[in-house]
């Protein structure tokens, strides 16, 4: 459906597909901007439902519930890219969806994603699609070892991938990973993982946040440092990459790009996410307009907010039982803004919350290699 | 009921009496800390209900609804001091209430308030209770003119008061103002209006925010500047005043004190509010822990958060049709964090939202007298 002309009026309702923490924080940002929210998700008592004005608990394939949802909201967005494309397709005829199906589809398929990155001028590590075992052998021949074999769909937080270091690993990994097809990627010797987040408004304006440096643990984001400690020319290149992605897609919404930084300063695009991103949580407390508000602004057709950073920040994820155990200490730590997601169980590997440590501008530049703020010392 | 030992567990429910913007922003802060919220208010579709996990729409005198509410929540707080004392009294036997009835009662009665301020060592302007016309004459005799005649109950935003400049004004003002009794206060020649906000935790710890300088228009707060441009010794005195108030009450919660600053540096206590206060809205974006989160921390028995200010800030209230008209421009202004309350109508004199302009630390000290940030220039 054609998006509305001009900004969504105050008091209008933003529909959010997905009830996780990203939907929760988007809903709170929408409320700050004077909007109502309606979360649609299959899970009972999801984090997003706890703060939304209204919610629908239904399966993403429930066409009747989707029709009622479409009729009850003024615009639809999604909080994660694994919402079935058919769900968004069912809504697009009835209510404006931002971002739309085309953007969702790219985020759902690693092959589409790589082709899109290359078309937009973002270099990626050597890769090859793998449809069967003979294709895997050919791909290994071309790309060499070490390499990473990944599912092309439904992967997140390191799920659905296997590192291949020996040709003997290949067959078992191929058999295990589902669904097919897979993609083989060269394992690149990166010196840092960084990410950049861009928003593009309905008016075509673009806002880019400062580049973030990310540290993972067990394939899950552990810490994000803003700003990344990278040369200005590299930061500018990273910002240019996400800007081109947003413009080439005609994005109306928010998009994150994870990149590998090589020793020679090359940035290789790794993954995109067409939504608020874990590595942008620091913006909630260190920018006048954080990523969730920015997302809502784009979806609502408002002018984009100011992405300037007024403090240095380190975001620490709170994951699983260990994250739960750290909560009380973080509450008492100076300069820390804590965020908890309202999940019922502290299962291993589950993101339960995060905390933003705010520091004076430019204080992070002097950090030693491998430095970890004591407050996140686990 | 005896408050729980230790902090409220994650996922517990905080009950909030009142559905206005202060309840709304408290509910969002509670969600960030991992709590559910249940707003109890008589109004349909109130701002607080739009973001709470659950709500009860019922009259404050509905004892059955109050009993159900008490059974459904783990702790109760209030968002404004005009909740009937009987309502809190009905709840106190069933569920912990923070702050409690004693604190609420002081905030509801200007005579109690003045006596309390004096007992706590906070000087106030000369005042006298006025029960009848002859009492008014005696009070005028003692206090002189100009003076302000005020109701002792249910006054806010300049409602329920009259400035007396001529003895001939007195009888009409006395007849008009309801409910009785009234209080006559000397009109003090202040050079600035300032406020300070204190929180006291269940563990007795106290946190005080930086003193704010407030500009009113039509008796409604218009702008707050943080920090106030006052000598450090005066700021320290103001902070000491609110600290003593919190400690002498054994407060568990948040309290604001509005003060008049005289030319000789004297601070006179004007009004207290035992809840988050409009003049503290700047803390939402300029402190790691804003006043709403601080309020929730105290109510939940958590350690208090860090009240340090990491930016200078100017808060501008968005009031009535003029505030609505300013919204779009504020959305596009750099460095501005906007907050809208979700009220259905933009009636004259109604607080609809606010915006925080963030500025570098120490930049406000150099502002010229009477300076108004261009973004709030109406």
Given an 8 Å threshold on Cβ–Cβ distance, is A10 in contact with B331?
no
Pairwise CA distance, residues B334 & B260, whole Å:
32
Q: Which one of A282, A331, A355, A357 would you mutate to disrupt binding with B, by most B Cβ within 10 Å of its Cβ?
A: A331
Give per-residue burial for B18-47: e unless 16+ CB within 10 Å, then b: bbbbbbbbbbbbbbbbbbbbbbbbeeebbb
**pLDDT tier for residue B156 given thresholds of 50, 70 and 90:** low
Given an 8 Å threshold on Cβ–Cβ distance, is A332 in contact with B288?
no
pLDDT, one tens digit per residue, over B220-242 is 999 999 999 999 999 999 999 99
pLDDT, one tens digit per residue, over B274-283 is 999 999 999 9
Pairwise CA distance, residues B29 & A169, whole Å:
49
Pairwise CA distance, residues B209 & B246, whole Å:
13
Q: Which one of B9, B10, B314, B362 would you mutate to disrupt binding with A, by most A Cβ within 10 Å of its Cβ?
A: B10
- pLDDT at residue A3, rounded to an integer: 57
The answer, yes or no, to whether residue B35 has pLDDT greater than 90, is yes
The answer, yes or no, to whether residue B378 has pLDDT greater than 70, is no
CA atoms within 13 Å, Cβ hemisphere of B256: 25
Q: Among A33, A53, A340, whose Cβ lies nearest the Cβ of B340?
A: A33
Given an 8 Å threshold on Cβ–Cβ distance, is B51 in contact with A31?
yes
Whether B99 contacts B77, CB under 8 Å: yes
Given an 8 Å threshold on Cβ–Cβ distance, is A332 in contact with B303?
yes
Given an 8 Å threshold on Cβ–Cβ distance, is A51 in contact with B28?
yes
Q: Which pairs count as long-range contacts for B232-239, CB under 8 Å and 24+ apart, including other chains?
A: B233/B265, B234/B261, B234/B265, B234/B267, B235/B210, B235/B211, B237/B267, B238/B194, B238/B196, B238/B211, B238/B267, B239/B196, B239/B198, B239/B208, B239/B211
* β-bridge partners, B247: none
Which residue is listed with tokens 């639809």? Answer: A76
pLDDT, mean over chain B: 94
What pLDDT tens digit does each residue of chain A (378 aa) get?
555 568 999 999 999 999 999 999 999 999 999 999 999 999 998 999 999 999 999 999 999 999 999 999 999 999 988 899 999 999 999 999 999 999 998 888 899 999 999 999 999 999 999 999 999 999 999 999 999 999 998 665 567 889 999 988 888 999 999 888 999 999 999 999 999 999 999 999 999 999 999 999 998 999 999 999 999 999 999 999 999 999 999 999 999 999 999 999 999 999 999 999 999 999 999 999 999 999 999 999 999 999 999 999 999 999 999 999 999 999 999 999 999 999 989 999 999 999 999 999 999 988 998 899 999 985
Please provide the DSSP assignment of B253-283 as one string. Answer: EEEEEEEEEETTS-EEEEEEESS--GGGTTH
Shortest CA distance to A39 belongs to which of A25, A21, A19, A11? A19
3-state secondary structure of A137: helix
Strand boundaries in B18-151, DSSP class E: 36-41, 54-57, 75-78, 127-130, 147-151
Instruction: State mean pLDDT over B137-157.
Output: 87
Q: Among A11, A32, A303, whose Cβ lies nearest the Cβ of B339?
A: A32
Pairwise CA distance, residues A180 & A263, whole Å:
33
Residues of chain A found within 8 Å of residue B28, distances taken between Cβ atoms: 28, 31-32, 51
pLDDT, one tens digit per residue, over B316-348 is 999 999 999 999 999 999 999 999 999 989 999
Domain spanning A190-376: which CATH class is it, in words?
alpha beta
Which residue does chain B place closest to A289, by CA atoms?
B337
Pairwise CA distance, residues B144 & A190, whole Å:
79
**pLDDT tier for residue B2 given thresholds of 50, 70 and 90:** low
Residues of chain A found within 8 Å of residue B345, distances taken between Cβ atoms: none
Q: Which one of B342, B358, B373 would you mutate to disrupt binding with A, by most A Cβ within 10 Å of its Cβ?
A: B342
The answer, yes or no, to whether residue B158 has pLDDT greater than 80, is no
Pairwise CA distance, residues B300 & B308, whole Å:
21
Whether B122 contacts B241, CB under 8 Å: yes
Helix (H) or strand (E) holding B299: helix B291-300
The answer, yes or no, to whether residue B112 has pLDDT greater than 70, is yes
The minimum CA-CA distance between B37 and chain A, rounded to whole Å, is 8
**pLDDT tier for residue B167 given thresholds of 50, 70 and 90:** confident
From residue B2, give the alpha-carbon distance in Å to each of B38, B95, B113.
20, 8, 25
Q: Among A327, A335, A360, whose Cβ lies nearest the Cβ of B306?
A: A335
- pLDDT at residue A283, rounded to an integer: 98
The minimum CA-CA distance between A286 and chain B, rounded to whole Å, is 9
The minimum CA-CA distance between A341 and chain B, rounded to whole Å, is 6
The structure tokens listed for A192 are: 């840092």
Given an 8 Å threshold on Cβ–Cβ distance, is A297 in contact with B331?
yes
Which residue does chain B place closest to A341, by CA atoms?
B34
The β-bridge relationship of strands B36-41 and B13-17 is: parallel
Instruction: State mean pLDDT over B169-184.
Output: 91
Q: Which one of B305, B307, B355, B362 would you mutate to disrupt binding with A, by most A Cβ within 10 Å of its Cβ?
A: B305
The minimum CA-CA distance between A73 and chain B, rounded to whole Å, is 15
Instruction: State mean pLDDT over B300-314.
Output: 96
Q: Among A10, A11, A50, whose Cβ lies nearest the Cβ of B53?
A: A50
Q: Among B24, B31, B302, whose Cβ lies nearest the Cβ of A331?
A: B302
Given an 8 Å threshold on Cβ–Cβ distance, is A53 in contact with B53?
no
- pLDDT at residue A156, rounded to an integer: 59
Q: Which one of A21, A38, A50 would you mutate to disrupt binding with B, by most B Cβ within 10 Å of its Cβ?
A: A50
- How long a stretch of residues is chain B? 378
- pLDDT at residue B178, rounded to an integer: 87
- pLDDT at residue A67, rounded to an integer: 97
Domain residue ranges in chain A:
13-97, 126-186, 190-376
Sequence-ordered list of residues with C-beta below 8 angstroms from that of B204, at least 6 positions apart, any chain = none
Please provide the DSSP assignment of B61-108 as one string. Answer: T-HHHHHHHHHH-SEEEESSTTS-HHHHHHHHTTS-BSS-HHHHHHHH
Which residue does chain A place closest to B344, by CA atoms?
A11
pLDDT, one tens digit per residue, over B250-275 is 999 999 999 999 999 999 999 999 99
Whether B20 contacts B46, CB under 8 Å: yes
Domains A126-186 and A190-376 share a fold: no
The answer, yes or no, to whether residue B303 has pLDDT greater than 90, is yes
Pairwise CA distance, residues A51 & A42, whole Å:
16
Given an 8 Å threshold on Cβ–Cβ distance, is A10 in contact with B302?
no
The answer, yes or no, to whether residue B27 has pLDDT greater than 60, is yes
* pTM given for the model: 0.95
The structure tokens listed for B360 are: 């570098």
- pLDDT at residue A192, rounded to an integer: 96
Residues of chain B found within 8 Å of residue A27, distances taken between Cβ atoms: 51
Instruction: State mean pLDDT over B130-148.
Output: 93
Residues of chain A found within 8 Å of residue B302, distances taken between Cβ atoms: 331
Percent above pLDDT 70 for chain B: 97
Given an 8 Å threshold on Cβ–Cβ distance, is B34 in contact with A341?
yes
CA atoms within 13 Å, Cβ hemisphere of B335: 16
Which residue is listed with tokens 């009026």? Answer: A9
Given an 8 Å threshold on Cβ–Cβ distance, is A336 in contact with B310?
no
- pLDDT at residue A247, rounded to an integer: 97
B126-186 topology per CATH: Dna Ligase; domain 1 (3.30.1490)
The minimum CA-CA distance between B60 and chain A, rounded to whole Å, is 22
Which residue is listed with tokens 């006596």? Answer: B115
The structure tokens listed for A57 are: 């608990």
* Domain A13-97 indexed as CATH 3.40.50.20: yes
Q: Among A7, A11, A305, whose Cβ lies nearest the Cβ of B342?
A: A11
Residues of chain B found within 8 Å of residue A11, distances taken between Cβ atoms: 342, 344
The structure tokens listed for B345 are: 């109508």
The minimum CA-CA distance between A153 and chain B, rounded to whole Å, is 31
Sequence-ordered list of residues with C-beta below 8 angstroms from that of B183, at least 6 positions apart, any chain = B110, B111, B114, B127, B128, B129, B130, B149, B150, B151, B152
The β-bridge relationship of strands A13-17 and A75-78 is: parallel
The minimum CA-CA distance between A283 and chain B, rounded to whole Å, is 12
Q: What DSSP state is assigned to residue A366?
A: G
Residues of chain B found within 8 Å of residue A315, distances taken between Cβ atoms: none
Given an 8 Å threshold on Cβ–Cβ distance, is B297 in contact with A28?
no
The structure tokens listed for B219 are: 């008796």
Pairwise CA distance, residues A284 & A267, whole Å:
26
């Amino acid at each position: 459906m054609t998006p509305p002309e001009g900004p969504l009026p105050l008091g209008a309702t933003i529909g959010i597909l997905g009830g996780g923490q990203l939907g929760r924080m988007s809903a709170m940002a929408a409320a700050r901007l004077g909007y109502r929210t309606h979360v649609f998700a299959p899970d009972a008592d999801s984090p997003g439902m706890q703060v939304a004005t209204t919610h629908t608990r239904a399966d993403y394939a429930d066409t009747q519930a989707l029709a009622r949802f479409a009729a009850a909201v003024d615009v639809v967005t999604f909080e994660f890219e694994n919402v079935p494309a058919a769900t968004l397709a069912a809504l697009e005829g009835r209510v404006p969806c931002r971002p739309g199906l085309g953007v969702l589809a790219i985020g759902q398929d690693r092959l589409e994603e790589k082709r899109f990155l290359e078309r937009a001028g973002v270099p990626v590590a050597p890769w090859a699609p793998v449809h069967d075992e003979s294709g895997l052998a050919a791909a290994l021949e071309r790309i060499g070892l070490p390499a990473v074999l990944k599912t092309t769909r439904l992967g997140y937080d390191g799920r659905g991938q296997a590192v291949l270091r020996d040709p003997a690993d290949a067959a078992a990994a191929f058999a295990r990973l589902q669904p097919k097809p897979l993609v083989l990627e060269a394992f690149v010797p990166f010196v840092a993982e960084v990410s950049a987040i861009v928003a593009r408004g309905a008016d075509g304006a673009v806002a880019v946040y400062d580049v973030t440096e990310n540290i993972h643990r067990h394939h899950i984001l552990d810490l994000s440092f803003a700003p990344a400690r990278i040369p200005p020319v590299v930061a500018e290149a990273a910002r240019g990459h996400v800007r081109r992605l947003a413009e080439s897609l005609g994005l109306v919404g928010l998009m994150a790009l994870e990149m590998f930084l090589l020793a020679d300063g090359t940035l290789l695009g790794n993954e995109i996410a067409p939504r608020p991103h874990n590595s942008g949580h620091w913006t909630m407390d260190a920018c006048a307009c954080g990523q969730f508000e920015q997302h809502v602004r784009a979806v609502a057709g408002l002018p984009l907010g100011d992405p300037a950073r007024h403090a240095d920040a380190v975001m620490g994820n709170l994951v699983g039982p260990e994250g739960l155990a750290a909560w009380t200490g973080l509450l008492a730590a100076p300069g820390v803004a804590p965020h908890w997601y309202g999940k019922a169980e502290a299962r291993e590997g589950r993101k339960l919350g995060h905390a933003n440590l705010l520091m004076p501008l430019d204080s992070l530049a002097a950090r030693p290699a491998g430095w970890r703020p004591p407050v996140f010392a686990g």
